[in-house]
Amino acid sequence: DAEITQSPRHKITETGRQVTLACHQTWNHNNMFWYRQDLGHGLRLIHYSYGVQDTNKGEVSDGYSVSRSNTEDLPLTLESAASSQTSVYFCASSPKSGWETQYFGPGTRLLVL
């Protein structure tokens, strides 16, 4: 069955370290998204991509970067982790038409000490 996976599921890191969170989908969806979820804020969009080589900033993109070299993967990199980036990160994907119907991965819990 097609699916969307994230790894690692849990990560503890130290302030200043570079961290990369992986997202892989097998639906062949054009669109992929990264969100963070914090208590009281709901889901906030970090970066998104509408296809290979296309990446765009979301509302909370500072300190994060993404690259899209193929359809299946959209890794999220925290360039220099900060305690404010402690959060739950969700990756999502959607087909080219009907991009609003987003399918979410299981999430990654990141703790920055």
Partner 1 sequence: QKEVEQNSGPLSVPEGAIASLNCTYSDRVSQSFFWYRQYSGKSPELIMSIYSNGDKEDGRFTAQLNKASQYVSLLIRDSQPSDSATYLCAVKMGFSGGYNKLIFGAGTRLAVHP
Alpha-carbon distances of 28 from 10, 52, 63, 76, 93, rounded to whole Å: 26, 11, 28, 19, 9
In whole angstroms, how close is the CB of 33 to partner 1 at the nearest point?
Answer: 8
Minimum Å gap between C-beta 35 and partner 1 is 8
Binding site for partner 1 (CB under 8 A): 35, 40-45, 48, 56, 58-59, 90, 99-107
Least distance from partner 1 to the Cβ atom of residue 11, Å: 16
Our CB check for partner 1 shows the closer of 48 and 64 to be 48
Whole-number CA gyration radius for the chain: 13
CA geometry: angle 49, 51, 54, nearest 5 deg: 60
